Each structure stands twice: as C-alpha cells, then as structure tokens.
Structure 1
Amino acid sequence: MTTEQINKLVYDGKFPGPAHPRELIETHISWVILCGQFVYKIKKPVHYSFLDFSTRELRKYYCEKEINLNKRLTENIYLDVQPVYELNGCFIVGGDKGSLIDHAVRMNKVDRDKQMDILLMNNKITENDIWRLSQKIASFHTNTTVIHKRDLPDMREAFNDLAAQKAFLKKNLGAKSGNIIDRSLRTSDAFIQQNQAVFTKRQHDGFYRDCHGDLHSRNIFLLPEPQPFDCIEFNDDFRQIDVLNEIAFLCMDLEAFGKKEFSDLFFEYYNKFFLVAANEADRRLFIYYKSYRANIRAKVNSLRAKSAVSDDDKTKALKSAEKYLLLMNDYISLLNG
C-alpha cells in the first residue's frame, strides 16, 4: 500500500468489528493502525539491504512469519493475517470482496501503560518483575532452536559503522563525542581480534540461538506476566545471535534508564536459570555486547537527528545519541581497565 492509501484506510476504511477510535503510528518499515479492540500492522513496500518487503507476496510471507515467531513469547496478542482489499475506491480489511492489494497482521490491543519502558519511567518496576522476566527469557532461550551452522556476524564492521556519524556528532555534541568514537573503535577492534576463539567456542557450545532479536523495554509488556513482543522477522541474521548479545541489549537498556540495579539483577537471575556466562571471558564478552548495543543506539539516534523535521526532534535525538555514547564509553572503560 501507499501512504495515500493508508491515510484513506485510516480515515474511512472498513475493519472487522468495532473500529473506533483510530490512530496511525508510522515506523520506517511499517504502518500500525490502532482500531477499536485490534491493532493492524501493514508492512511498507520497501527494499533495504537488510529486508525486502517489495512485493505483496513477500509482505504476506513476513506477516505470517511475524505471527509465528512472536507466538513463541506472547499469549493472545498476535491473532492472524488479514487481507486488505480495494472495492469501489474503499479500502477494506478482512472479507473476500474486491481487489486484493495487501495483508495486515492483526493483534489484540494491549494497554500501553503496561509497556516496560513506561513502567520504568514511572518507577513502577519491582524486583519481582525482573525475576519473572529473567525466568521467561531464560526459558525461551533454553528451548529455542540452536544455530550451529551460520557464519558468525561481522561485529567489527557493525561496530565501526558508527564512524560514519563522527563528523555530524562532533559538530553538534562537541569534540568529546569524536574522541569517544575513536577510542571505542580502537577498543572494539582489539577486543574482537583477541577474542576470536571466544566467539567461535560460544557458537560451538550452542549459545547461538533463534532469539527475539530486538529485546528492550519498549518491546515488553508486563501484564503483570512478561510478554516480549515485536521480535525481528525480516532478517534471520539479526535474530539468530548469541543469547548473551540478546540479553545485553535489555541490560544496556535498563542501564540507559538509570536502573543498573535491575540490569545486574536480571543478569544474575538469568544466569542462574540458564548458565551462559560461566567465566571471566564470557563476562567480558557480555560487557562488549553491551557496548555494541549502546553503539547501535547512538548511531540510530544520530541518523534520526540528521533527518529530523523540527529543531525539537533534532535536539531530542542528539540528547539520546549523547546518552548512548557516554554509556558505550563506560563499557569501553571497563574493557580497558
């Protein structure tokens, strides 16, 4: 579908069941329509180096894959794939009349106030929440598919991609940001070179698994039982990773919220349920993965600042980029210590 068609669907389209109020949320790869008791997610017809939604058939395939993957971790959220038709200029979700133009993932609407990031901001997370979440994720990782035969990801290339943002961040945040980037890239290069055997051994030992891929607090509902949602369906390489890399994202996110005590608790509990960091080399790798995750968030926010349509949006994105740069620098300091 096109942006114009989506706007028309939201404004006067037809949906199954009660369909008001309606709200459109747009990301760089999808449109999400909140509509009555349901949420409909329609993938944009885009083709990037890391995903291909360019045809209706591919979008349907990834809609189905999204539901199947997310049902591993959620209950009664992901429902089905609904066809989208056009009939006499009207767009219709569901049914079987008209010209088939696209597909939508249908989900039950969940109270946004139960998202973990919102609960964190309102200081409503408890130690018991962290315990339940660690148990849920450890159980999932224990039982999900082990990935034995996949090329190890090029961590060096992914980490060093932040260098492309150096000039922009240095101009907007000052010389310190450039120094942090230079230092972090040198440390990352040295760490990867010195720990190739660790990366390889962890894959051999079965720690690379079919994970969630995007595990952070905004993608977790606490109802109060934890339900991580919105896992990565569009690129297996982003999801089939070391479980330490997966939980490093969540722990880094908790520390970005200023909740290091929850990060430490999660790691401690998780490691009791599923022993994935048994020695000092593993624990240093965990710190490296946290630095990598902070690196990616800094890059993403730099790109957001570059493309911001208002000064306020640019300022917010730059503030976030700076926060993640400083967090990455803390991790790098630990690796250098």
Structure 2
Amino acid sequence: MIQEQINSLLLDGEFPEVSIERELIETHISWVFLCHTFVYKIKKPITYSFLDFSTLEKRKEYCKREIKLNKRLTDGIYLDVVPIHRLDDHYKIGGNAGTVIDYAVRMLKMDRTKQMDRLLIQKKVTKSHIQNLAHKIAVFHGNTDIIHQKDVLDIQDKFNDLEAEKAYLATQPNGSLYAKIIGSDIKVSDYFLTGNKDLLTARLKAGFVRDCHGDLHSRNIFLLPSPQPFDCIEFNDDYRQIDVLNEVAFLCMDLDAFGEKGLSNLFLEYYNQLFPTIKSLEEHHLFVYYKAYRANVRAKVNSLRAKSAVNEKERTTTLSEVHKYLRLMESYLNTLSL
C-alpha cells in the first residue's frame, strides 16, 4: 500500500470489527491501525540495507514470520494474517471480495497504559517489574535456539552503517558535531572489535549467540502481571540471531536513555544471576560496547524518521532524539577508549 491508500483506509475503510476507535501510528517501516479490540500492522513497500518489503509476496511472508516468531514470547497477542482488498474506490481489511493489494498482521489490542516506555516516563516502573522481566528474558534466552555459525565481526558493518546518515545530518543544526561523533566513534568501534575478535569467537563457541528477540526496548514491552515483550525482528535473521548480551544491552541502554541507570543496573544484575553471561572484565567491556551499538541503531532509526517527517515539528523532535543517542553512544565508547 501507499500513503494515499492508508489515509483512505483510515478515513472510510472497512475493518473486520465495528469500532469508532481508529488511530494510525506510523513507524519508519510500517503503519499500525489501533481499533477497539484489535491492532492491524501493515508493512511499508520499502527496501533498506537491512530489509526488503518491496513485493506483495515478501510482505505476506514476513507477516507470517512475525506471528510465528513473536509467539515465542507472547500469549494470545499475535492472531493471524489478514488480506487487504481494494473494492472499487475503497479499501477493506479481511473478507474475500475485491483485489488483494496487501496484508496485515492482526493482534489483540493491549492496554497501552501498561507499555513500559510510558510507565518509565511516569516513574512507575518498579524493582518487581524489572525482576519479573529479567526472569522472562533469561528463561527465553535459555530455551531459544543456539546459533553455531555466524560471522562474529558482522556487527562492524552494522555499526558503520551509521556513516550513511552523515550526509543528511550534515545539513541539519549541529551537523558538524554529528559528523565528528560518527567519524570518531566508528574508529573506536573498529579498534575495539579487532581487539576482541577472540572473545567474540569464544562466546559463539560457548553458545551465547542465540535466536533472540532482536529489538528489546521499553516501547516493545507491556508490563502486565506477566511481562510481554512483543514486536521482535522478523525481517532480518541476522539482526535477531545475536549474542544474548547484545540483546540485554539494548534494554539497558534504553533504561539509561530514560535516566534510569539504577533500573538498568538492576536488570543486568538479576538477568546475570539467572543466565550468567558476564563473567569477566572483558565481557563487561563488551556489554558497554553493545550498549554503544544499540545507541547507534537508535540514532540511525531516528535519522531515517527525520528524513521522512511530514512536518517541521516531527523532524525537530526526531533530530533531538538523534542528538541524544549520538551523545549516549559517544559516552559509552569514551569509557572503552581510555
């Protein structure tokens, strides 16, 4: 689907449920419709260096994969894949009439007041929440598939992919600062990875690289009686099949970004007791590096969002996020380059 069709679906399209509630949330790779009971997620027909949703067949297949992979961590949230039809001059989700133009993942709508990022803003995330979440992730990591073959230095290209954003960011306020941080931190990253190749290889052999969630941050977690991480990466196995420490570092970096260093440390402590993954100073340094990498990813994502912003307010907001995460990345790597 294209933006014009999405707008039409939002205004007067037909949905499987009767609902006066219909809200559209847009990310850099998808459109998400929130209705009264269900949520419908549609993949954008786009191609990036890390994903390919360019054809109808690929989007359908990735919808199926999204459901299968997310069911590993959720209970009753991910339901099915539904077709989207064009009927003359309007659009309909579900049913059989019309021409299929796309597909959507149908999910049960959850209580958004329990989304972890919202609770963090309200200072309502407790030690008990963190302990329960650490237990959930540790059990998941302990049972998910072990990956035996992987290029342990592939993260270098992923980290350095931020270089592609320099040209755009250079045209924005603080552009020269952004270019300096990106250039400097890529050099530090290259040096760190080269010096720690043996450690990365040893962790692969020890079974620490597993088929994880891949996108474990607070916006992708509902803090219910049983914590519910959702929206794992389905579009690129390489981004999901990672060192468990890389996964944990994403959530801890996110907590740091919210100013919750104490909760970040607490999560790592609980998790490491249940699934020991940091046993040396070198592995702690690797954890810090992974936090820098995750800040790098968030900076890139927000740069992509800024490029596609529909108005100046949205662009300014996303650029402020770019600034925050570049600074956070820099602060982590500074501790490794001393």
The Cα of 1:5 is off from its aligned counterpart by: 2.5
* Native 8 Å contact 1:51 1:234 kept in 2: yes
Distance 1:260 1:93, change over 3 A: same
Question: Does 2:273 correspond to 1:292?
Answer: no
CA offsets 1:7-53 (integer angstroms, 9 cap, x no match): 22222222223232211222232221112211111222223332222
Instruction: Please list, as runs of the form range in 1=range in 2, the aligned pairs for 1:7-22 lying within 5 A after superposition.
Output: 7-22=7-22
The Cα of 1:66 is off from its aligned counterpart by: 0.5
What is the percent sequence identity of the aligned residues?
A: 58
Q: For 1:302, give the aligned amino acid.
A: S
Distance 1:36 1:303, change over 3 A: closer
Q: CA RMSD in A?
A: 2.1
Distance 1:42 1:190, change over 3 A: same
C-alpha distance in structure 2 between counterparts of 1:74 and 1:253, whole Å:
21
Provide structure 2 residue ranges, at least 5 long, that are not aligned to the other structure.
none
Q: For 1:316, give the aligned amino acid.
A: T
Aligned to 1:207: 208
CA offsets 1:119-144 (integer angstroms, 9 cap, x no match): 00000000000000000011111100
Aligned to 2:158: 158
Question: Does 2:239 correspond to 1:238?
Answer: yes
More displaced, 157-166 or 187-196?
157-166
Q: For 2:206, give the aligned amino acid.
A: D
Aligned to 2:132: 132
* Native 8 Å contact 2:218 2:251 kept in 1: yes
C-alpha distance in structure 1 between counterparts of 2:95 and 2:157, whole Å:
47
* Native 8 Å contact 1:84 1:102 kept in 2: yes
The Cα of 1:297 is off from its aligned counterpart by: 1.8
Instruction: Please list, as runs of the form range in 1=range in 2, the aligned pairs for 1:176-325 lying within 5 A after superposition.
Output: 176-325=177-326
CA offsets 1:234-290 (integer angstroms, 9 cap, x no match): 111111111111111110010000000001000010011101111111111101101
More displaced, 12-21 or 101-110?
12-21
Q: For 2:121, give the aligned amino acid.
A: M
Q: For 1:106, give the aligned amino acid.
A: R
* Native 8 Å contact 1:146 1:209 kept in 2: yes
C-alpha distance in structure 2 between counterparts of 1:174 and 1:224, whole Å:
44
* Native 8 Å contact 2:153 2:193 kept in 1: no
C-alpha distance in structure 2 between counterparts of 1:10 and 1:175, whole Å:
40
Q: For 2:319, give the aligned amino acid.
A: L
Distance 1:129 1:308, change over 3 A: same
CA offsets 1:194-248 (integer angstroms, 9 cap, x no match): 1110111111111111111111001111123210111111111111111111111
Aligned residues: 337
Question: Does 2:110 correspond to 1:110?
Answer: yes
C-alpha distance in structure 2 between counterparts of 1:139 and 1:9, whole Å:
40
* Native 8 Å contact 1:209 1:241 kept in 2: yes
Aligned to 1:93: 93
Q: What SS is found at the alignment partner of 1:42?
A: strand
